[in-house]
Amino acid sequence: TASIRSEGSGRVSLSGSGSTDSSGPGRDNSVDLPSHDDRWPRQNSLSMKEWDIPYDELKLYEVIGAGRFGTVYRGSWHGAVAVKVLHVHALNDHCAPLDTFKHEVATFRKTRHENLVLFMGACMKPPRLAIVTSLCKGMTLYTHIHLRKDKFTANKSVLVAQQISQGMGYLHARGIIHKDLKTKNIFLENGKVVITDFGLFSVTKLCFGNNARGDSLGIPSGWLCYLAPELVRALRPHASLHLPFSKQTDVYAFGTVWYELLCGEYPFKGQPAEAIIWQVGKGAKQSLANMQASRDIKDILMLCWSYRESERPDFPHLLSTLEKLPRKRLARSPSHPVHLSRSADS
Ligand code: ADP
Ligand code: MG
């Protein structure tokens, strides 16, 4: 396992004018692009400077979550922020981590949408790599559904799903694949959906030794049921970075979120990873026989979970389908705002 300094080998400087890392003599201060990607225009690497937040300017308070690859802190930088600090000491040889990180940050900063977390900047000087976003209030859908066991009525589920589709439709229109859409990455703030962690999958999830824990495929629990058949079939030990993520795999993951909203649990609940891999890989789906929902609602699930990616709808299509679903008892009064009532809110 190489350290970040040798891995970075002279390419660690981002800003181009005068800022060098401390990697020693002979290292150039290049702003050259990652050679593996010619689509990234040269001037982009210069303009990234404005998103570069000096680590010293950040105040970090308590840890709000720790994963295998990073720690999320409540912090302060011109107001309340969330800071995801990446565990760079765990970098391995097999990915160009800094290039990946810069590239993903470059993608992240292009996003401006109501239903997407606000990207504020990043610390891009090794060994301090961190992503700074606005701090989401409220709780994640995961917390609502799986920890608090909050019940989402069909109507509430539809309102949440519409907002997810809006945010995801925007990302896809900008050519960004989320790659990690799941209820843990969707916050609910007073009825407003805020999606986090889009486009940062490689660097935050898989680069840093995807075999740290768990079974031989290194599959974190609660991840598998979001993976489309073509991803499941491509799972190999140590090779998760090259999974064939696509807009359609995001739609499959959306199907799972939709199922969680409606049923309050994960599909294939309680089954071992091997059993899920086997079933999904050959095209079996979670049975909906015991699900209390209308045909149209189940149809959305089945379409999103289509074995063939070409048969899955896109997000604009999903949005219009969701908008056409018959509403029962939705607005209690004409002035009732279009967001959720208190019970499933923070
Ligand atoms: P995961 O998404 O798998 O839970 P993360 O490392 O992305 O792992 O997040 C760790 C914790 O930090 C989670 O509890 C998550 O809800 C919280 N978190 C992440 N981003 C934010 C944010 N922008 N605002 C508030 N909390 C956040
Ligand atoms: Mg997350």
- Convert the pLDDT of each residue in 327-338 to its tens digit: 764 444 444 444
CA-nearest of 233, 229, 289 to 256 is 229
Residue with tokens 């219009």: 320
Q: What is the pLDDT of residue 126?
A: 78
Mean pLDDT across 289-307: 95
In angstroms, the CA 219 to CA 203 distance is: 16
Given the residues 180, 197, 215, 299, the one annotated as active site: 180
Token pair for residue 138? 């409220």
The ligand 1 site (C-beta within 6 Å) comprises: 64-65, 67, 70, 72, 82, 117, 133, 135-136, 140, 184-185, 196-197
Pocket test residue of 117, 147, 196 for ligand 1, highest count of atoms within 8 A of CB: 196
- Residue 124 pLDDT grade (very low, low, confident, very high; cuts 50, 70, 90): confident
Ligand 2 centroid from CA 204, angstroms: 9
- Ligand 1 atom closest to residue 136's alpha carbon, by position in its atom list: 24
Q: What is the pLDDT of residue 177?
A: 94
Q: Which residue has the higher pLDDT, 40 or 62?
A: 62
Q: Which residue has the higher pLDDT, 21 or 158?
A: 158
Ligand 1 centroid from CA 291, angstroms: 30
Above 90 in pLDDT, residue 33? no
Mean pLDDT across 268-288: 94
pLDDT averaged over every residue in the chain: 79
Do you find a cis peptide bond into 127, omega within 30 degrees of 0? yes
Ligand 1 centroid from CA 73, angstroms: 9
- Ligand 1 atom closest to residue 66's alpha carbon, by position in its atom list: 10
Q: What is the pLDDT of residue 217?
A: 60
Q: Which residue has the higher pLDDT, 62 or 203?
A: 62
- Which range has the worst mean pLDDT, 29-38, 49-58, 257-266, 297-306? 29-38
According to DSSP, the β-strands at 192-195 and 59-66 are unpaired
Ligand 1 centroid from CA 258, angstroms: 20
Token pair for residue 199? 């486009």
- Closest ligand to residue 84's CA: 1
Token pair for residue 174? 């900008």
Q: Is 180 a catalytic residue?
A: yes
- Closest ligand to residue 226's CA: 1
Q: Which residue has the higher pLDDT, 330 or 264?
A: 264
Above 70 in pLDDT, residue 68? no
- Residue 134 pLDDT grade (very low, low, confident, very high; cuts 50, 70, 90): very high
Complex ipTM value? 0.98
CA-nearest of 45, 48, 10 to 30 is 10
- Which range has the worst mean pLDDT, 62-66, 79-83, 124-128, 203-207? 203-207
Above 50 in pLDDT, residue 291? yes
